[in-house]
Amino acid sequence: MAVARIDAAARLVRFVGVGNIGALLSDAGKARHMVSHNGTAGHVAPRIREFTYEYGSEPVVILHSDGLTTRWELAAYPGLAAQHPSLIAGVLLRDHRRSRDDASVVAMRAAV
């Protein structure tokens, strides 16, 4: 389980993750992985903590379940970060889904 909020006024992404959630902040061509603590939502969550990540220009936040491999890089898709978030999520799901698991991908950017 994860919650991400792009706080445009503060130029921060606020993120809380528990369990097998991958989270990435892409900003100006640089990618940063966001921290998700171990646990199982609704069962055991020994540590729940909000992390904040500063950004500069136009951030893209991508969250995904463990049904997506972790061996992908947004930089491997030139120009994709500038596209609509649903296209970003769809391309990552198409190319990096694990065939033996369910998968979900969410991509978003700040409203302007």
Q: Provide the CA 59 distance to its chain's centre, in angstroms.
A: 11
Per the structure, the count of domains in the chain is 1
CATH of the domain at 97: 3.60.40.10
The answer to whether residues 18 and 66 touch, using CB atoms and an 8 Å cutoff, is: no
**Residue 62 is part of which domain span?**
2-109
Dump pLDDT digits (tens) for 7-62: 999 999 999 988 888 999 999 888 898 887 666 666 666 677 888 999 988 899 99
pLDDT confidence of residue 18: 83
Burial 20-40 (b: 16+ CB within 10 A, else e): bbbbbbbbeeeeeebebeebe
Dump pLDDT digits (tens) for 59-91: 999 999 888 988 899 999 999 999 999 999 999
